[in-house]
Amino acid sequence: MEQFFKMAERGSSITQEIRSGFTTFLAMAYIIAVNPALMLAAGIPITAAVTATCIGSGVVTILMGLYANRPIALATGLGINAVVAFTLPTITGNDWHASMSIIFIEGVAILLLVLCGLREAIMNAIPISLRHAISVGLGLFIAFIGLHNGSIIVTNPATFVALNKVTDPAFIVGVVSIAATVALYSFRIKGALLCGIFISVLVGIPLGVTPLPQGVVAPLDFSSFGAPFLTDEAGVMGIVKTLTTPICLVFAFSLLMSDFFDTMGTVTAVAKPGEFLNEDGSVQNIREILTVDSAAAALGGLAGCSSITSFIEAASGAADGARTGLSAITTGVLFILAAIFAPLIAVVSSASTAGALVLVGFMMMSEAVEIDWNNVQDAFPAFCVIIGVPLTYSISNGIGFGFIAYCFIALITGKAKIIKPLMWVAAAAFVVYFVLM
């Protein structure tokens, strides 16, 4: 096992990897409840959606651990699953088989881009300043998600966001989660993030935030597997309907852009605390990571659970000591077990994970000092990324803002030659993407 995972070489151990795998899983576990609810809106039976979400996420996360040997966990991506639930049905005639076919086609296309080297080449063409900015933007994004999960900040029609009432039980659990995690981390307690989650789960019981389990096991339902090749009431396969409907292919392109660059940011965010980010901002084993991530998108459509992608919450496991693929395998196994024991996993409220996410966001802010804020060519595009990611609640949007701004400033200042050709291609693709949104 040591020879395969290289734990000692990376300063880790079996215990550390398994523990951090639990941390990652608990930080991601909310998707087991959230995604099936959205897939139900798309027309997929809830039991089938739970099975597909857990099994699909578990299998590809284990594959990431085995093939890339990095602590990156995957699950159905938020954002795209909302598109599947509320947008795609209007163009597919409420045929969820066709909706999953769009996801499947997008995943196959993005996998082909990886295999021909284009996705990796675009990542390598990104200026160093933007790579640092992506880390900072992702840090703010992760912290924002954590604060929202903890009900510390809430929506407000007048000010967009606001501080929640301090008497709200979820607010109290969120604050306890953050305080416990930071305190344990300050004393260099191993497993600080995982312990913070468990402490807040216990605090949430008398406050009514931690729900009591509604059972122990749940039935498995594989009826959504093979969705693109299943037929509707007229006997037409979903993938046939998608390939013969131009608007479906347009949506596939839009989702491809979102998946393409969301993963770019997420992988960078996990690589920083996971210590596989090079000094120039490039990610080690990026080819293997992108291959699995791209295949996961297609497998998500095939399983009927929406696109599966690298999850930003995996950064919490990396911050808790994950350094190898063993951590990812642990998370993957837990996802598969969750398909059976879903009622027990449901007791971990989103508020309980606030501390882990906020602490990871804090740790990623250190990248800001690597940006030359006196050079507008580097600084303004970096600024666009940093504010764009959290304020639009989209990794790909923020990266798109930065790409376009970088090319624009270089063009108007007569420095167009500093832009690598693939940056021009990516910026142009983002312009098309924003127009089609």
Amino acid 33: pLDDT = 79
To the nearest 10 degrees (0 to 180), the angle between helices 354-364 and 128-149 is: 160
**How far apart are alpha carbons 186 and 119 in whole angstroms?**
39
Q: How is residue 208 annotated by DSSP?
A: T
The three-class DSSP label of residue 43 is: coil
Amino acid 6: pLDDT = 93
Q: Which residue has the higher pLDDT, 260 or 330?
A: 330
Residue 36 contacts residue 81 (beta carbons within 8 Å): no
- For a pLDDT cut of 90, what percent of the chain falls above it? 60
Q: Taking Cα atoms as reference points, which of 109, 134, 112 lies closest to residue 123? A: 134
**Taking residues 301-318, what's their average pLDDT?**
93
Amino acid 415: pLDDT = 92
**How far apart are alpha carbons 368 and 75 in whole angstroms?**
29
Residue 362 contacts residue 143 (beta carbons within 8 Å): yes
pLDDT digits (tens, 9 = 90+) for 131-140: 889 889 988 9
Amino acid 387: pLDDT = 96
* Runs of H (alpha helix) within 169-285: 169-186, 192-207, 238-243, 246-274
* Model confidence at 280: pLDDT above 80: no
**How far apart are alpha carbons 380 and 364 in whole angstroms?**
19
Q: Taking Cα atoms as reference points, which of 38, 49, 110 lies closest to residue 79? A: 38
* Model confidence at 101: pLDDT above 90: yes
**Taking residues 344-357, what's their average pLDDT?**
85
Q: Which residues neighbour 393 within 8 Å (Cβ) at sequence distance 6 or greater?
A: 79, 141, 144
* Model confidence at 263: pLDDT above 80: yes
* Model confidence at 161: pLDDT above 90: yes
Amino acid 299: pLDDT = 97
**Residues in a beta bridge with 277:** 283
pLDDT digits (tens, 9 = 90+) for 208-234: 999 888 788 888 999 999 999 998 777
**pTM exceeds 0.95, yes or no:** no
- For a pLDDT cut of 70, what percent of the chain falls above it? 100
Amino acid 437: pLDDT = 72
